[in-house]
Amino acid sequence: MHQASFAELEHDMKKRRTRREQFLEKMDGLIPWSRLEARIEPFYPKAGRGRRPYPLSSMLRVHCVQLFYNVSDPGMEDLLYEVESVRRFAGLRLTGSLPDETTILNFRHLLERHGLGGVLFEEINGHLQAQGHRLKRGTIVDASIIDAASSTKNQSGERDPEMRQTKKGNRWYFGMKAHIGVDSESGLAHSLKATSANVSDVATAPALLHGGEERVWGDAGYQGVGKREENRDKEVDWRVAMKRGRRRRLDPSGPEEAAEHRKGSVRAKVEHPFLYVKRHFGYSKVRYRGLAKNTQRIALLLGFTNLLIAGRYAAA
């Protein structure tokens, strides 16, 4: 039996549970920890010479908290020292040793080096499918721009060479694009492809399909997708939105406008994963240079998003 620290005693005596505590408790119950740890364990350093590594379960939980709140490595170290609910979530104690920013950085690099963000995303989806959330016969495809810093005031004196510029409407953006495929019934993301911002949406559509679709929905950016060489043999009903200028000329009470409205009501589900990633988890701007690191992070955030969406349906 360990002796409680003053921070632990004060935490136990407080009269109200914070929103952070409630959210961490929810994620603790939703995330399939044993499945994720099993995929990381072959790559995680074993105890031997030198400093004994922290338990894999604790480091994975620390990494998850870092993604939940979009904090830096030094910021995550500070959070561990300052917030008792975060330490409890990670299975750590203030009276013991806590991971420093270098240890947190090394664990993130381990996941990036072995492409484990995408692996964990697939593992979470496998967990959800085992619970009955099957991929149905429809997929919604869409893309969202994630901004990158365009400044050259950095160590290299140049912008990130893997990020590109694109124009949307009357505004220019610099960064990357996250292209996703979402199940049309459950709203769960099943595929992800990250590119620089100047890559067209229509070019990435084939990479977002799971192969069992009969219908695919997309916005006007996917016009002509069915005529492309790589899609001609696909037996898919492409339900792509009409371009805005043409739609303005439709009879508001006519059948074509009604069909466009139905398409839009289905496509709305694809916005929910982006809402979670960019607003709930705060990843509206890239944190790292290069596509690979950011892709691994977005993949795991999409996994968390799927758990929250599936949990919402289960609660309903």
Domain that holds residue 261: 136-286
Same domain, 142 and 101: no
Tokens of 310: 């599936």
* pLDDT given at position 169: 82
Per-residue pLDDT of the chain (316 residues; tens, 9 = 90+): 455 665 655 655 666 788 999 999 999 999 999 999 999 999 999 876 556 689 999 999 999 999 999 999 999 999 999 999 999 999 999 888 999 999 999 999 999 999 999 999 999 999 999 999 888 889 999 999 999 988 776 777 788 999 999 998 889 999 999 999 999 999 999 999 999 999 999 999 999 999 889 999 999 999 999 999 999 888 899 999 999 888 888 898 999 999 999 999 999 999 999 999 999 999 999 999 999 999 999 999 999 999 999 988 665 4
- CATH of residue 238: 3.30.420
CB atoms under 10 Å from CB of 173, counted, come to 20
For residue 261, is it within any domain?
Answer: yes
State the Cα–Cα distance between residues 175 and 286, nearest whole angstrom: 8
For residue 85, is it within any domain?
Answer: yes
CB atoms under 10 Å from CB of 123, counted, come to 18
For strands 215-218 and 138-147, give the pairing: parallel
Burial class (CB in 10 A: 0-12, 13-18, 19+), 53: middle
* pLDDT given at position 134: 86
Same domain, 155 and 278: yes
Same domain, 259 and 146: yes
Same domain, 201 and 264: yes
* pLDDT given at position 262: 93
Tokens of 226: 């069915």
The structure's pTM equals 0.91
Same domain, 147 and 278: yes
For residue 233, is it within any domain?
Answer: yes
For residue 255, is it within any domain?
Answer: yes
Same domain, 63 and 150: no
Same domain, 171 and 280: yes
17: region left, alpha or beta (phi > 0 left; psi from -120 to 50 alpha): beta
For residue 120, is it within any domain?
Answer: no
The residue type at 202: V
Same domain, 166 and 239: yes
Tokens of 243: 């371009």
Same domain, 65 and 181: no
| Count: domains in the chain | 2
Half-sphere exposure of 302 (CA within 13 A, CB side): 30
